[in-house]
Structure 1
Amino acid sequence: MHNQKKTITFIINPISGTKSKEALPSLVSQHIDSNLYDCEIIKTQYAGHAAEIARQCAADHKDICVAVGGDGTVNEVARSLAHSDTALGIIPCGSGNGLARHLCLPMDMKQALDIINIGKTDHFDYGVINDQPFFCTCGMGFDAYVSLKFAESGKRGLATYVENVLKEGLTYKPDTYIITDETGEHQYKAFLVACANASQYGNNAYIAPEASMQDGLLDVIIMEPFNIIEAAKVGFDLFAKTLKNNNHIQTFQACSIHISRNEPGAVHFDGDPTKMGKEIDVRIEPLGLKAIINPHHTQDEAKAGKVMNNISKTIDKILVG
């Protein structure tokens, strides 16, 4: 008696992300082993449809549910699969692709399919901010603004992005935050507060370079106000994975924190901006998400070097101009 085939559902959001997805159906038939898998491809038809399809995949005990789109689609699918035995797969088509990059998944559609075909999975933590699940980062203050800019940055290129964001950031007013964790209450005057489950916002900007998605802990990053000269260094550190050494940054880890701020206002989770009140709770759900992983786990160092070179040039430009 032969083994039953595994099932994969591809959820395509035709309007999300930056890459065309028209080639996907033919790529699926070329790269996914039809002896091992039965595949279906469903296109979303309205906002929230990806979440509904993914919930149904979990209810039907599908083996793998693949989000094909930008960070918003990935978040929608992932939150619907949390605490189920259906694994999240990602074909990254956005500009930031934070979760895919943290998991070292290929940005190339064909290579991403090859990883799904291997079918190796693992379990990962996810975060919750006031009952809203997130998988990479959430934050407030300038962070909500930064992540929003990041979501839009793909079309404009990284160098322009860094320059614009840092210059605009200098007019941003710091706020006072009271953060309570297991060790007690601490007050900070901060430019931004970020809580990271994964290491980056996307586009290889590492807000929490040492964050692990399997340690049951949030990495909390407090960025204190800085001037235009220091802004360039902050930008550099963000891409060089050296933010922790910056003297405007304080970091600590916690399973959960409570944040009090003076006014209600913007927050973001995985780059999705929204408004929340003065009191905010953030916590980790340990190993609540099953996801496809890259067993080869190689990162493109040459590309990272090229990005760093561009950032250095941009910083010189800011300092000179």
Structure 2
Amino acid sequence: MTPDLSRLCFVFNPISGTNRRFDLPALLHRVLGKSYGLHYEVRPTQYAGHAEELAREAARQGFGVVVAVGGDGTVNEVGRGLLGTGSALAVLPRGSGNGLARHLGIPLEPAAAVALLRQPRVLPIDVGRLNGRPFFCTAGLGFDAHVSRCFAQAGTRGLSTYVRVALREYQRYQSCPVEIELNGQRIGTDCYVLAFANAAQYGNNAYIAPLADIRDGLLDLCLIDRLPLSRALRVAYGLAVGDLPTSGAATYHSAQTVRVRTERPLGFHLDGDFAGEATDFTATLQPLGLPVVVGAGFENQAV
């Protein structure tokens, strides 16, 4: 059955990033009104994991588009709930980084993002999994996961808080020996950061894998084995300008399946949210596993 794209359910995290004092119903009335033949509902989340439940229920009720209103964590929850349902994920970005929204060409200005839903353009994207748990933008082991855990405990959000936490933890964090299996190879190396990129950036236009194609059936891996100060400065510059693959400060691979064994338990994140620790990891990719609403600037990439 073809999803009914005229039925929209907004799953709204009222405490995500910049959502405080955000009047979503007023915005929807102003931008969607009654002139476009749309039916829409707003369903606020009440606890961690609730967005996944609300999204799955909305899909069962015939909503063809379920809109994640929040940051990348909310987007991840809603996306998880929609897997296998046929309903499309849309994003109204209201978080700190908004990595997936930026990659998909979704405007960060709320009214412009909502206006896309009058006649939504839907394309399927790949779905990553790390130890069986879905991610849609990036996942990773090592320093970025460690920072995500500390960031969640910082008490405030935003880019300035993230930078402050990252600089503080850089003084403390040590790389870890790992063994990586991919494409029939075994690679023994140290790991400071190992990022699995389905999309190009972490968020805030920090491009960890600027060549990543979210519809090509491959994960882009970025490995940084050690991070002395001179390399840290080059990595920071590369993230900002999008030239990290040519900088010599990181190593890149592409694969559908990657296995990693670590000498000590390493933290990992999924779409920027800390998810736990492990010593064995398997990253996989499901090609074109989730329909999403994309922005006008998103190119219809060949697969």
CA distance in 2, matches of 1:283, 1:23: 39
1:286 paired to 2:291: no
Q: What one-letter code is carried by the residue in structure 1 that aligns with 2:292?
A: A
Q: Deviations over 1:146-176 (max 9, x none)?
A: 4456777984545x75476246324321111
CA distance in 2, matches of 1:48, 1:55: 11
Partner of residue 133, structure 2: 132
- Structure 1 CA distance for aligned equivalents of residues 155 and 203 of structure 2: 10
1:162-191 CA-to-partner distances (Å, cap 9, x unmatched) read 476246324321111111112221111121
TM-score by length of 2: 0.90
Partner of 1:119: 120
The 1-side partners of 2:263 and 2:212 are apart by: 28
- Partner of 1:85, secondary structure, is coil
Can you list the C-alpha shifts for 1:66-119, whole angstroms capped at 9, x where unaligned? Answer: 111121111100111122221111111110111111111111111110112221
Q: Is the alpha carbon distance of 1:264 and 1:229 closer, same or farther for their aligned partners in structure 2, counting shifts above 3 Å? A: closer
Aligned to 2:58: 57
Give 3-state SS (helix, strand or coil) of 1:26's partner: helix
Residues 99-118 of structure 1 aligned to structure 2 (within 5 Å): 99-118=100-119
Which residue identity lines up with residue 60 of structure 1 in the other structure? Q
Distance 1:146 1:153, change over 3 A: farther
Task: Structure 2 unaligned segments of length 5 or more: list them.
Answer: none
**Using the alignment, how far apart are the partners of 1:243 and 1:270 within structure 2?**
20
CA distance in 1, matches of 2:141, 2:281: 10
- Bigger-Rg structure (1/2): 1
- AA aligned to 1:9 is C
Instruction: Give the C-alpha shift of residue 26 in structure 1.
Output: 1.5
Partner of 1:23: 23
What's the counterpart of residue 182 of structure 1?
A: 183
User: Aligned letter for 1:265?
Assistant: L
Question: SS of the residue aligned with 1:278?
Answer: strand
Residue 69 (str. 1) matches residue 47 (str. 2): no
The residue that corresponds to 1:256 in the other structure is: 257
Q: Deviations over 1:247-303 (max 9, x none)?
A: 2311000001110111223111111112232111000011011111112449xxxxx
SS at match of 1:277: strand
Contact 2:99–2:201 (CA<8 Å) still a contact in 1? yes
Equivalent residue number for residue 218 of structure 1: 219
Partner secondary structure for residue 107 of structure 1: coil
Q: 1-side partners of 2:277 and 2:285: how far apart?
A: 19
* Counterpart Cα distance in 2 of 1:213 and 1:149: 28
What TM-score, normalized to structure 1?
A: 0.85
**Partner amino acid, structure 2, of 1:269:** L
For the residues of structure 2 that align with 1:163 and 1:38, how far apart are their CA atoms?
43
Report the identity percentage: 37
**Counterparts in 2 of 1:21 and 1:70: CA distance versus 1, 3 Å:** farther
Give the alignment's Cα RMSD to 1 decimal. Answer: 2.3
| Alignment size in residue pairs | 294
